[in-house]
Amino acid sequence: MAETALAYESDTLPGGTVDTVVIGGGAAGLNGALMLARSRRSVVVIDSGTPRNALAAAMHGFIVLDGTPPSEILKRGRQQVRQYGGRIVFGEVVSAAPAAPSPEGDLRFTISLADGRALTARRVLVATGLRDVLPEVPGLAEHWGHSVVHCPYCHGWEVRDKPIGILATGPASVPHALLFRQLSNDLIYFTQGTDLDADTRARFTARHIRVLDTPVQEVIDDQDGAIAGVRLTDGTIVERRVLAVATQMQARTEGLEGLKLPMEDLPDNMGHRFASAMAGITEIAGVWVAGNATDLTAQVGASAAAGALAGSHINAVLATADTAAALAAVQATTN
């Protein structure tokens, strides 16, 4: 799916070396930057303005902010980071790689942007999020984020009681169907060539979930542009108002190859992510990851929490490095 950047006012890129560069300005990146800025760390967020939930009308499942448009949450987040001295720079990272360490041996990274600008940082937080890959069914992508949904917790209440179709993409679509069955009594499971064993078919029958094995050829709109249903390959038209898809989820890795971050594949070909441990630590010294780039199922609240944890851990590591450098300086003058 093509992505449209949501532009906003950009801060200037600072000179010199900053404590941390955050790549990605979603919930994880902004909350990580907030923790660092409140700890009086120099932090710059590089954000391309292409959040995963850009097309969604509202964010759900996060207490207090439930129902808030994603763009409004990000706008507030940028304001809050800035009020503590953090900078938000609108731009696209094209390369990120380790650089020569400082004279004291502290780590350094160079981040280059598409417009030729560059930044040096002591530590890096990757919060680039992920990209949802939809099946190649004509007419499907045009309704993404509205009548074509993927998450029963993000969109379920809004599509309750509507005729829902599950477009199967693999084994993960089976539990997906059961979750959407909680939301509507009118559910059809389109197998789309995937395997569905007899036991699963019996379970679906018990829950009054219809199964259709004839493939979906295209999505059909009504005169108002909303989904009216789907046309099968045999010409049959099946009325549906909502289509649910377990997408393939791919961490956004563009421009980050130089960091050599290890990747992990999800089972059943459901996608890939950056590998990380507690607090977003990676195998690459000085680099952390947070949010959907490493936890593909995290909603906004979980991503924000992961960003805060990573940010606080980065600050602690920097404090240790600062102390080591200060001690080395004292010892150099007394020897």
Write the pLDDT tens digit of every residue in 39-55.
999 999 999 988 887 77
CA dihedral 36, 38, 40, 43 (to 10 degrees): 40
- Give the SS3 label for residue 240: coil
* pLDDT value at 231 more than 90: yes
* pLDDT value at 56 more than 90: no
Model pLDDT, residue 266: 82
Which residue is listed with tokens 């994603």? 70
Hey, what domains does the chain have and what are their CATH numbers?
A: 17-131+248-334 (3.50.50.60), 135-245 (3.50.50.60)
- Give the SS3 label for residue 59: strand
- Give the SS3 label for residue 83: helix
Say what the pTM is.
0.93
| Measured distance CA(184)–CA(159) in Å, rounded | 8
- Residue 221: strand pairing partners: 227
Tokens of 133: 């890959």
Model pLDDT, residue 53: 79
pLDDT one-digit tens code per residue, 78-136: 999 999 999 999 999 999 999 999 988 999 999 999 999 999 999 999 999 999 999 99
Model pLDDT, residue 3: 61
The answer to whether residues 297 and 286 touch, using CB atoms and an 8 Å cutoff, is no
132 Rama class: left (phi>0) / alpha (psi -120 to 50) / beta: beta
The answer to whether residues 257 and 265 touch, using CB atoms and an 8 Å cutoff, is no
In this structure, the chain runs to a length of: 335
C-alpha dist (Å) from residue 22 to 65, 89, 202, 276:
24, 10, 49, 16
The answer to whether residues 86 and 33 touch, using CB atoms and an 8 Å cutoff, is yes
| Measured distance CA(188)–CA(238) in Å, rounded | 9
Indicate the helix (H) or strand (E) that contains 133. strand 130-133
